[in-house]
Amino acid sequence: MRLTRTQEGSEMAIRGYRDLEVWQKAMDMAVACHQLAACFPANEQYGLASQLRRAAVSVPANIAEGKGRRGKREFIRFLLIAHGSLAEVETHLELAKRLGYAKPSRAEELQDQAAEVGRMINGLVKALKTRSNSDPRAPTPKP
């Protein structure tokens, strides 16, 4: 059984995508991006704001979908897609900052959140590749 640490420091079993800390942090980032996008000018609600929202939602959604696939190879593939969406989020945040739609300090906070999620995705991919070195198509063991 795989374990993860709770905020209190105790360990718990990873039963599904909701138990993954990377998914939880990606959800927090997506909510924050939605809140920021709501403050963009009206003429950007179907432009940059929409693109930011979609890219931000894509990160936890792809983590969840990959975890739900059960095979490590597919999980890794969806994590890499999530990482690509994360690069989109970072780009949209930088553009929002440069256009003056977001305060630099707020955009940088969200970029830091995105960077943290990116590091977590990279670590998870590395761990999955290391564990499945013998057979990358091996299914994820049931908790």
At 141, is the pLDDT very low, low, confident or very high (cuts 50, 70, 90)?
very low
The residue-averaged pLDDT of 62-80 equals 94
DSSP class of residue 20 equals -
Tell me the pLDDT tens digit for each residue of 112-129.
Answer: 999 999 999 999 999 999
CA distance 14 to 64: 13
Pairwise pLDDT comparison (139 vs 126), residue with the higher score:
126
Q: Which residues of 95-112 are buried (b: 16+ CB within 10 A; e: fewer)?
A: ebbeeebbeeebbeebbe
Q: Is 91 buried (19+), middle (13-18) or exposed (0-12) by CB count in 10 A? A: middle
- Distance, CA of 22 to CA of 20 (rounded, Å): 5
- pLDDT exceeds 90 at position 140: no
pLDDT at 15: 80
The region that residue 9 occupies, defined by phi over 0 for left and psi between -120 and 50 for alpha, beta otherwise, is left
Tens digit of each residue's pLDDT (9 = 90 or more) over 127-136: 999 986 655 4
DSSP H or E run through 33: helix 21-37
Q: Is the pTM of this model over 0.95?
A: no
Give the integer Cα–Cα distance in Å for 15 and 4: 10
Residue 69 has pLDDT above 70, yes or no: yes
pLDDT digits (tens, 9 = 90+) for 12-44: 566 899 999 999 999 999 999 999 999 999 999
